[in-house]
Amino acid sequence: MTPPVLAGLAGAALVGFGLYGLILHPHPLRKLLAFNLIGSGVFLVFGIVARRGAAAGLPFDPVPQAMVITGIVVAFAASALAVALILRLAAVSGKVTLDPEAWAKTPSTRPDGGGGQ
């Protein structure tokens, strides 16, 4: 099995693990981590597309690679925004979970919104 195919299969497995964690973890930061796993899996699949597109004397197709670089930075920006929202949610509601049942059981104790952390 060639390295590109191997990396592509690893990428597919990463998407699977990430999806599983995204659905099952009630902790928002764990969900975010799992979502990042999905992202890097997709990037890896894109990476083998770049490797297979070797032509014109280059060992890879630079266009998908450049898009992956852009993608990594944008994924980080989105993660940072998600972290800020999660922290704010926790500061306002006093809860650190996205489990709907936990929210249904005890209504928010600080609906006025705390002073921020």
Kindly identify the residues of this chain, within the stretch 78-117, that bind another protein according to CB under 8 A: 78-81, 83-88, 90-91, 94-97, 99, 101-102, 106, 113-117
26 binds another protein (CB under 8 A): yes
- Binding to another protein (CB under 8 A) within 39-68 occurs at 40-41, 43-45, 47-68
Q: How many residues bind another protein (CB under 8 A)?
A: 92
Cα–Cα distance for residue pair 114/116, rounded to 1 Å: 5
The separation between CA 33 and the C-alpha centre of its own chain, rounded to angstroms, equals 6
Q: Which residues contact 72 (CB under 8 A, 6 or more apart)?
A: 43
Among 35, 73, 107, 112, binds another protein (CB under 8 A): 73
Shortest distance (Å) from residue 111 CB to another protein: 15
Q: What is the b/e burial string over 30-48, where b = at least 16 CB atoms within 10 angstroms of the residue's CB?
A: ebbebbbbbbbbbbbbbbb
